[in-house]
Chains A and B, each alone.
Chain A
Amino acid sequence: GDSVTQMEGPVTLSEEAFLTINCTYTATGYPSLFWYVQYPGEGLQLLLKATKADDKGSNKGFEATYRKETTSFHLEKGSVQVSDSAVYFCALGVSNFGNEKLTFGTGTRLTIIP
């Protein structure tokens, strides 16, 4: 079945450091890939997405490129801020005869220290 494997957390970085959170996937069809972010006490929010191979999703300084050859969708940011502290979820979705489901990774908790 479809699955997503994420980098284990927690991850702690200093402000302005470079961030990478690894994500790899297994899917039977042609998935779209997503990164969601969950701030403390809130629900998940879509951060960015890519719908086909070699697409790059970007938002708020975060980027991720859909790499079909390595089945990966790693999240990167060049210079993190304290406000980026949150839990990040990688997810995939495959449209299947009208059955629309997202499969999430287990999440990576990121803490940025000033």
Chain B
Amino acid sequence: DAGVIQSPRHEVTEMGQEVTLRCKPISGHDYLFWYRQTMMRGLELLIYFNNNVPIDDSGMPEDRFSAKMPNASFSTLKIQPSEPRDSAVYFCASSLKGGVVTDTQYFGPGTRLTVL
């Protein structure tokens, strides 16, 4: 099993540019999660999907952030326009049925984003 795949692994961009992060969940997993990790705030849940439908996006910091899941094997997190404070490591995770008690989230290796 290839695990959760994220691309790119590193992204450096300039303030104001659009950034798109990509995620391929583990095949057969119904849930997909996007997290952001920073030194100041730790690991925060941004949004999660169930069967390609967004369930909870209350963690999305502002309208500059958007996430889509057009099919079961692909999701994107887009930041437009990007700002230096968006610099962080962004993780994607997937789980089979989503239950925090009964299930396990599998994390990708993350995308380290630097906005200059």
Contacts and interface: CB of A to CB of B under 8 A. Distances in A.
Interface of A: 32, 41-46, 51, 89, 93-95, 98-107
Contacts of A101: 45, 48, 56, 100
Which of B48, B100, B101 lies at the interface centre, i.e. has the most chain A CB atoms within 10 A of its CB? Answer: B100
Contacts of B110: 43
B99 to A, nearest CB: 6
A56 to B, nearest CB: 16
A89 B100 contact: no
A66 to B, nearest CB: 12
Interface of B: 4, 31, 41-45, 48, 55-56, 91, 93, 98-101, 103-110
Contact of A51 (B41, B48, B101, B105): B101
Contacts of A51: 101
Given A101-B48, A107-B42, A107-B43, A43 B100 contact: no
A106 B108 CA distance: 18
B50 to A, nearest CB: 8
A7 to B, nearest CB: 13
Contacts of B91: 43-44
A95 to B, nearest CB: 6
A107 B56 CA distance: 24
Contacts of A100: 31, 48, 98-100, 103
Contact of B105 (A46, A106, A107): A46
